[in-house]
Amino acid sequence: MTATETRTTTALDIADVTLTYPDGMSRLTALDRVSLRVTGGTVAAITGPSGSGKSSLLAVASTLIRPDSGHITLETPSGTTDLATVSRREAAVLRRSSIGIVFQQPNLIPALTAREQLEVMIHLGQRVYTPASKRRETRDKATELLESVGLTDQQSKRPAQLSGGQRQRVNIARALMNDPSLLVIDEPTSALDTERGAAIIDLILTVARTHHAATLLVTHDQTHLHRMNAVYHLLDGHLTQTTR
Ligand code: ADP
Ligand code: MG
C-alpha cells in the first residue's frame, strides 16, 4: 500500500456514547448518545454553551474518562482500538503513543525552556535510560516542531518569558511530539485576543492537515467555523451537526 492509501485509515469514530456523573442521589447526563466521526487531516469543531458537555466529550475521546456506554474507535494505520473499553494501563500507553491533548491552559513547567517542554514528553513512561542518539533525535524533533509553530527564536525561553499566544504554541507543539493520530484541543483561544486567537486557529488547521491527525476542536470562536471540516453543537449533552 502507498503512504497515501495507508493514511486514509486514520479516524476517530464515536458511536452512541453516554457519560453520566454522580450528582447527589442521582446522576447527571453529560453526554447523551453522542455520535460523530472525524478522519485524519480534518478538524471537527465542537461548539456549545458552558456546561453542555464539550470538555467531557474531549475527555472520553482521549481516554481520560471512560463513558458509561458506547464505542470510541480509534483507527490508525497500525490498528483499531475501542477507547471506551481499554484498560487504564492501555489507555496511558495510547495517550503516550497516539493521542495529543491540548488544554485551555498550557500547563507548562515553569523551570523548563520551550524546547525542554517538548523533550520531556519522550521520557514519560520510559523505564530505561534514553541513549544519546535518541536524545539527539528528540532534540531535533522538538526544534523542528517549534519552528513549525513559529517559535524558532523562542526555544530557549521559559514560560514566564513567553506571551500567552507563544505559550499556547508551545502547548500545541508539545502535543505533536508523539505524532498523534488523534488531537483533542479544548478552547485554545479563550485566553487570547482576537488576532492571536486567529493565528492559533490557523495553526491548528495547518497542523491537523500536515500531521494528518483526526482533530476535535472545542471553540467559542464563531468567526472561524466556516473553515472547519465539520461543525457540531452540544446542548445538554445532545450533539447535533450544524449545517453550514
Ligand atoms: P463544558 O466543557 O461544555 O463547559 P463539561 O463537560 O465541563 O461542559 O460539563 C458538562 C456537565 O457535567 C456540567 O453540568 C458539569 O457541571 C458536569 N461535570 C463536569 N465534570 C464533572 C465531574 N467531574 N463530576 C461531576 N459533574 C461534572
Ligand atoms: Mg469545558
Where do the H-state alpha helices sit in the chain? 3-7, 54-61, 88-97, 114-123, 132-148, 164-175, 194-210
Residue 5, pLDDT > 90, answer: no
pLDDT band at 155; cut points 50, 70, 90: very high
Residue owning the nearest CA to atom 25 of ligand 1: 21
Q: Where are the alpha helices (DSSP H) in 43-163?
A: 54-61, 88-97, 114-123, 132-148
Other C-beta atoms lying within 10 Å of the C-beta of residue 99: 23
Spatial neighbors of 13 by CB under 8 A, at least 6 apart, are 37, 71, 72, 73, 75
Confidence of residue 104 (pLDDT cuts 50, 70, 90): confident
Q: Span 170-184, mean pLDDT?
A: 95
- The answer, yes or no, to whether residue 217 has pLDDT greater than 70, is yes
In a domain, 205, yes or no: yes
Examine residue 87 and state whether it is found in any structural domain, yes or no: yes
How confident is the model over 12-39, as a mean pLDDT?
Answer: 97
> Residue 79: beta bridge partners?
76
Residue nearest to atom 15 of ligand 1 (CA): 51
Instruction: Give the C-alpha separation, 131 to 164, whole Å.
Output: 34
pLDDT tens across 116-144, in order?
A: 999 998 777 666 677 888 889 999 999 99
Task: Find the domain containing 200 and state its range.
Answer: 11-107+179-239
How much is the mean pLDDT over the chain? 92
The model's pTM is: 0.92
Let me know: does 126 contact 93? Beta carbons within 8 Å. no
The rounded Å distance from CA 187 to ligand 1 centre is 15
- Residue 43 lies inside a defined structural domain of this protein: yes
Give the pLDDT mean for 85-89.
94
| Ligand 1 atom nearest to 237, measured from its CA | 10
Q: What is the pLDDT of residue 8?
A: 57
- CA–centroid distance, 95 to ligand 2, in Å, is 20
| 191 located within any domain | yes
User: What is residue 221's predicted lDDT score, i.e. its pLDDT?
Assistant: 84
Per-residue model confidence (pLDDT) at position 6: 47
Is 172 part of a structural domain of the chain? no
Distance CA 235, CA 51 (A): 8
**pLDDT above 80 for 14:** yes
Grid coordinates in use for 13?
A: 469514530
pLDDT range class, residue 167, cuts 50, 70, 90 = very high
Higher pLDDT, 198 or 34: 34
The residue whose grid cell reads 523551570 is 111
Does any domain span residue 234?
A: yes
Please work out whether the CB of residue 21 comes within 6 Å of at least one atom of ligand 1. Answer: yes
Residue 215 lies in a domain: yes
Q: Is 86 exposed, middle or buried (0-12, 13-18, 19+ CB in 10 A)?
A: middle
Residues 58 and 103: their CA atoms lie apart, in Å, by 10
Closest residue by Cα to atom 16, ligand 1, is: 51
Average pLDDT rounded to a whole number, residues 24-35? 97
Q: Tell me the residues surrounding ligand 2 (ion) with CB < 5 Å.
A: 54-55
CATH number of the domain at 86, please.
3.40.50.300
- In a domain? residue 147: no
Task: Specify whether the CB–CB gap between 191 and 105 falls below 8 A.
Answer: yes
How many domains, in total, are found in the chain?
A: 1
pLDDT of residue 157: 98
H/E stretch holding 30: strand 26-39
Spacing, Cα 93 to ligand 1 middle (Å): 26
- Look at residue 59 and tell me whether its pLDDT is greater than 50: yes
